[in-house]
A = this chain, B = another copy of it.
């Protein structure tokens, strides 16, 4: 079995969830992709997995940390979480709408952790989106 699928299987098992055909298809639709809307994922699974099942599986994936939900512009989008590809943030162009990754920044991460601590808050995760103009549009 390809290695990422194996990781999916293990993660599901650990949380007492089944490793089903539908979930493998949905997972595949998310792999190596920029964040997608629910609509896009449903389309990607068209004919293979029912709309309702996509919603149900996505909910499971989110609960057990396989995927994460982001706000990109107006609507939320979904992508595999940090365990399945490196932690990162996004740049969104207000003009062309393109979303690109920001390289990981150790200093930024440390700063965020410090800020949370200063509020007696235990940071478990965070999301950052920078909006503006990409090189092509400015």
Contact = CB atoms under 8 A, between A and B. Distances in A.
Nearest to A101: B119
Interface string A51-74: 000000000000000000111001
A112 B71 CA distance: 18
Interface string A101-138: 01001011001100110011111111111111111001
Contacts of A126: 128-131
A91 interface: yes
Contact of A71 (B69, B107, B123, B135): B69
Contacts of A74: 69, 76
A7 interface: no
17 contacts: A69-B71, A69-B74, A70-B71, A71-B71, A76-B76, A91-B121, A93-B121, A100-B119, A105-B111, A107-B111, A112-B130, A120-B134, A121-B134, A123-B130, A123-B132, A124-B133, A127-B128
